[in-house]
Amino acid sequence: MTIEAPHDCVVEILSWDGGFYLLPARESVPKTHRFQGGLIYSSMIDIEGRVIEPDRFAGRRMRIFLSQLRWWHFSRTRPAYIGALSDRTGELPGGGLEASLYIPEQAWSTAVTCLGAVWRRLRLNGVEHEDGHVTIREFAFSAAPKPKPDA
């Protein structure tokens, strides 16, 4: 039996940097995935953040890789894959919390503009699997945190 526990996280965005990578394609890359016959490219945004919630991760740094999703894969049994969260502490020098998120290609320009102008928080909602990895089910960027209800 598979056990999936809810896993929510709020991250304060500290900085970000954009990137565009262009390199020769390996022979193993299908021709349909090549640009101008022999190249591959990737545009990505690298976000540096600090976890606000949950308490067990509060104060820890998180690196977030935001990439374009060029096509959606829908399944009858699983939700669409839009991201993952992992703790890579100890795996690599400087390793720690990392998230990979995918946004639709059509929303890329808007996302870059909003990230630079107004977005300051990121809320991740996912499920943690038995093996410890977390699949992101939804995420949302915002300008400010939601107000907490009065106790």
Q: Exposed, middle or buried by CB within 10 Å (0-12, 13-18, 19+), for 59?
A: exposed
Q: Residue 50 above 60 pLDDT?
A: yes
Q: Is the residue at 39 inside a domain?
A: no
| Number of domains forming the structure of the chain | 1
Q: Is the residue at 122 inside a domain?
A: yes
Per-residue pLDDT band for 44 (boundaries 50, 70, 90) equals confident
Residue 56 has φ and ψ, to the nearest 5°, of -65, -20
* Closest alpha carbon to 112 in 2, 11, 16, 7: 16
Q: Is the residue at 29 inside a domain?
A: no
Q: Is the residue at 104 inside a domain?
A: yes
Percent of the chain with pLDDT over 70: 86
What is the per-residue pLDDT across 16-43, written as a single tens digit (0 to 9) for each?
988 777 788 888 888 877 778 788 777 7
Question: What pLDDT, on a 0 to 100 scale, did the predictor assign at position 3?
Answer: 59
Q: Is the residue at 82 inside a domain?
A: yes
Tell me if 125 sits within 8 A of 136, measured CB to CB. Answer: yes
Per-residue pLDDT band for 60 (boundaries 50, 70, 90) equals very high
Dig out the tokens for 67 from the structure.
Answer: 């990439």
Which amino acid is it at 135? T
Q: Is the residue at 72 inside a domain?
A: yes
What is the per-residue pLDDT across 68-89, written as a single tens digit (0 to 9) for each?
887 666 667 776 788 999 888 8
CA 32 to chain centre: 26
| Enclosing domain of residue 97 | 5-17+44-142
Question: What pLDDT, on a 0 to 100 scale, did the predictor assign at position 1?
Answer: 42
> Across all residues in the chain, what is the average pLDDT?
84
Q: Is the residue at 131 inside a domain?
A: yes
Dig out the tokens for 121 from the structure.
Answer: 């928080």
Residue 9 has φ and ψ, to the nearest 5°, of -150, 140
